[in-house]
């Protein structure tokens, strides 16, 4: 006859074995899941497209480089090869001065031509605009290179009088150069400025691109 005391003396291994078996099963199950995940990853096909990391710049259409100044052939001064001095009238260095109708090289086989100025009558419709006499400058850009260029880098400013007074642009009547200009193509932009009638004969514009020197057109 087995007494309660005899039951308490039963070796503890019988109670431990189920716990060991259960733990072993859990370990084997976890190992099987890990093996299955690794097998799925190793057998998955490689992506067929290239991912672009966030923040990586995508190449875009390059801006027009603009004209450059060159030192005189007779100059021996090493400083002549440094950045040109800005003209206080315009806040930028003047690469050269040309007449309307003349073509100016803006690098990369890009040529810029300003047609003869035209007197116009401004009909103000935008903020800060004033109706009255004005002048229009028509700018033609030709891309003789093999790659497109960004026209939005072109800037045109007007001046009048002997003291080169800045002329107020008339945005509502201006159709500026924008967008991309394909290789072999040309684009035209028109820029209108308010200019007193008695100063229209002394009207000039400057054409530049970005921070490059500018071309003064008379």
- CATH number for the domain spanning 196: value is 2.60.40.1240
Residue 9 CA: distances (Å) to CA of 6, 13, 114: 5, 12, 112
Distance CA 109, CA 147 (A): 10
In terms of DSSP bridges, do strands 154-160 and 165-166 run parallel, antiparallel, or are they unpaired? antiparallel
**DSSP E strands, 25-76:** none
Residue 19 CA: distances (Å) to CA of 7, 8, 26, 44: 20, 19, 11, 38
Taking the CB of residue 185, how many other CB atoms lie within 10 A of it?
13
Task: Tell whether pTM > 0.85.
Answer: no
pLDDT at 3 over 80: no
Residue 189 maps to a domain:
yes
pLDDT at 76 over 60: no
Residue 212 maps to a domain:
yes
Question: What domain range is 186 assigned to?
Answer: 82-217
Question: What's the whole-number average pLDDT of the chain?
Answer: 79
Residue 54 maps to a domain:
no
Residue 11 maps to a domain:
no
Specify the higher pLDDT residue, 114 or 7: 114
Domain tally for the chain? 1
Residue 60 maps to a domain:
no
Residue 105 maps to a domain:
yes
Q: Would you place residue 173 in the very low, low, confident or very high pLDDT band (cuts 50, 70, 90)?
A: very high
Residue 144 maps to a domain:
yes
pLDDT of residue 70: 56
Tens-place pLDDT, residues 99-149: 999 999 999 899 999 999 999 999 989 888 999 999 999 999 999 999 999
Q: Are 156 and 139 in contact (CB under 8 A)?
A: yes
Residue 6 maps to a domain:
no
Average pLDDT over residues 183-188: 98
Tens-place pLDDT, residues 40-74: 444 444 443 333 333 333 358 888 998 976 554 44
């Amino acid at each position: 006859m087995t007494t309660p005391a005899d039951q308490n003396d039963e070796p503890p291994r019988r109670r431990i074995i189920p716990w060991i078996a259960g733990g072993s099963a859990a370990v084997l199950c976890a190992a099987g899941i890990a093996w299955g995940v690794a097998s799925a990853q190793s057998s998955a096909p490689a992506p067929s497209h290239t991912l672009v990391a966030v923040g990586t710049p995508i190449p875009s259409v390059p801006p027009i480089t603009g004209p450059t100044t060159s030192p005189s052939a007779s100059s021996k001064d090493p400083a002549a090869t440094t950045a040109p001095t800005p003209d206080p009238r315009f806040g930028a260095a003047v690469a050269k001065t040309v007449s309307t109708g003349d073509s100016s090289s803006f690098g990369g086989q890009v040529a810029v031509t300003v047609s003869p100025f035209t007197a116009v009558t401004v009909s103000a419709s935008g903020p800060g605009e004033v109706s009255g006499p004005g002048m229009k400058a028509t700018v033609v850009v030709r891309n003789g290179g093999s790659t497109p260029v960004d026209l939005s880098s072109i800037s045109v400013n007007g001046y009048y009088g002997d003291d080169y007074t800045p002329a107020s642009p008339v945005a509502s009547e201006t159709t500026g150069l924008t967008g991309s200009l394909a290789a072999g193509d040309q684009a035209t932009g028109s820029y209108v400025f308010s200019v007193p009638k008695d100063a229209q004969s002394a009207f000039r514009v400057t054409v530049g691109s970005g921070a490059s020197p500018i071309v003064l057109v008379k």
